[in-house]
A and B are shown apart, each in its own frame.
Chain A
Amino acid sequence: MKLNGKLALVTGGSQGIGRGIVEAFIQQGAQVITCGRYTEPKDLPAACNYIQLDVSDPAAVNRFAADIHNLDILVNNAGVQVEKNTVESTDEDWDQVMGANARGVFNMCRAFIPNMTEGGSIINIGSISGNIADPSMALYNASKAFVHGLTRSIAVDHGPAIRCNAICPGWIETGMLEAGFATADNPQTAMHDALQRHPVRRFGKPEDIASMAVWLASSDASFATGQLFTIDGGMTAASPLNPGLF
Chain B
Amino acid sequence: MMLEGKIALVTGGRGGIGRAVVKRLMREGATVYAADLTENGSLQTHDDDGSQFIKLDVTSEDDAITAFKTVEQQHSCLHILVNAAGIEIEKTIEQTTLEEWNQSFAVNVTGTFLTSKHSLPLLRAAATQGATSSIINFGSYDGFIADPGLAAYCATKGAVHALTRAMACDHGPEGIRVNAICPGYVDTPMLQSFFKGDGSGGQGGNIESLQQAVRDVHPMRTYGTPDDIANLVNWLASDEARYASGQLWVLDGGLSAQVQQMRL
Contacts and interface: CB of A to CB of B under 8 A. Distances in A.
Q: Do A and B come from one complex?
A: yes
Interface of A: 128-129, 132-135, 180-181, 183-185, 189-190, 193-194, 197, 235-244, 246
Contacts of A240: 145, 217, 255-256, 258-261
A190 B198 contact: no
Given A239-B142, A243-B198, A246-B213, 9 more contacts: A129-B259, A184-B264, A193-B262, A238-B146, A239-B145, A239-B146, A240-B258, A242-B260, A243-B213
- The CB with the most chain B CB atoms within 10 A, among A128, A185, A193, A240, is that of A240
Nearest to A133: B258
A246 B260 contact: no
24 contacts: A132-B256, A132-B258, A133-B257, A134-B258, A135-B261, A184-B263, A184-B264, A189-B263, A194-B262, A237-B146, A238-B260, A239-B141, A239-B255, A240-B258, A240-B260, A241-B255, A242-B148, A243-B147, A243-B194, A243-B198, A244-B198, A246-B200, A246-B210, A246-B214
Contacts of B147: 238-239, 241-243
Nearest to A235: B260
A241 to B, nearest CB: 5
B258 to A, nearest CB: 5
Q: Among B195, B213, B217, B260, which residue has the most Cβ atoms of chain A within 10 A?
A: B260
B209 interface: yes
B185 interface: yes
Interface string B204-232: 00000110011001100000000000000
Interface string B136-172: 0000011001111100000000000000000000000
Contacts of B149: 244
B130 interface: no
B263 to A, nearest CB: 5
Nearest to B199: A244
Contacts of A241: 147, 185, 214, 217-218, 255, 261
Contacts of B145: 236-240
Contact of A246 (B209, B218, B255, B264): B209
B264 A180 contact: yes
Contacts of A190: 262-264
Interface of B: 141-142, 145-149, 185, 194-195, 198-201, 209-210, 213-214, 217-218, 255-264
Contacts of A132: 256-259
A244 B148 CA distance: 8
B183 to A, nearest CB: 13
A87 B132 CA distance: 43
B52 to A, nearest CB: 37
A190 B261 CA distance: 11
Contacts of B255: 239-241
B217 A134 contact: no
Nearest to B210: A246
B143 to A, nearest CB: 11
A129 B257 CA distance: 10
B214 A236 contact: no
A128 B210 contact: no
A179 to B, nearest CB: 11
A238 B258 CA distance: 11
Given A194-B262, A244-B148, A239 B256 contact: yes
B112 to A, nearest CB: 22
A217 B225 CA distance: 49
A142 to B, nearest CB: 13
A180 B256 CA distance: 23
A243 B263 contact: no
B12 to A, nearest CB: 23
A185 B260 CA distance: 18
Contacts of A183: 264
A129 B258 CA distance: 8
A193 B263 contact: yes
A190 B149 CA distance: 23
Nearest to B185: A241
Contacts of B258: 132-135, 240
Given A190-B263, A238-B147, A239-B141, A244 B256 contact: no
B32 to A, nearest CB: 32
A209 B149 CA distance: 29
A246 B211 CA distance: 9
B197 to A, nearest CB: 10
Contacts of A235: 259-260
B262 A197 contact: yes
